[in-house]
Amino acid sequence: MRSPLGACVAVLLTSGIASGQSADPNMLAGQIHGDAIVVDGHNDVATWIPDYGFDLGMDGSVPTKKNAQLYWIIPWLLPTPSGDELRTHTDLRRLQAGGVDA
C-alpha cells in the first residue's frame, strides 16, 4: 500500500529540495499528485447512479446533455432522464485523466 507521507518524502528527496536545490513547483506538485493516493471524498455522482441509471462509463461531459443537478434539485418539475442523457461532473474518463484513485 502506498503511503501519502512516504510519497511526499520520496518526492522531496528525489527532487533535490532536501539537499537545498530549488525545484519547479509545478513539477513537484505533479510528482506528489502522481505518487499520492487521490480520493474524491465528496462526489454527487453516487446519487445519479441509482436515481437515474447513470453509469460511470458514460461520458458525462457532453454540454448538450441534461444537467443532472437540475433533476436532483427539482425532480417534481422535470421528467426523469435516463443515465445516458445526463451531464455530470464525473465519469471514469475524467477520473482517470485527473489521477483519482478512489
Q: Give the global pTM.
A: 0.63
pLDDT at 1 (0 to 100) = 47
Is residue 30 located within the same domain as residue 68? no
Q: What is the pLDDT of residues 25-40, one digit of tens each?
A: 778 888 888 899 999 8
Residue 79, pLDDT score? 85
Domain, as residue range, for 20: 4-35
Q: Return d(Cα 22, Cα 63) in angstroms, integer.
A: 42
Whether 51 and 81 share a structural domain: yes
Whole-number pLDDT of residue 25: 77
Q: Give the pLDDT score at 64.
A: 92
Query: 54, 68 in Cβ contact below 8 A?
Result: yes
Q: Which of 53, 79, 82 is nearest to 65 (CA)?
A: 82
CA distances from 64 to 4, 21, 50 (A): 39, 49, 22
- Average pLDDT by stretches of 10, the chain with 102 residues: 54 53 76 89 84 89 89 83 89 91 88
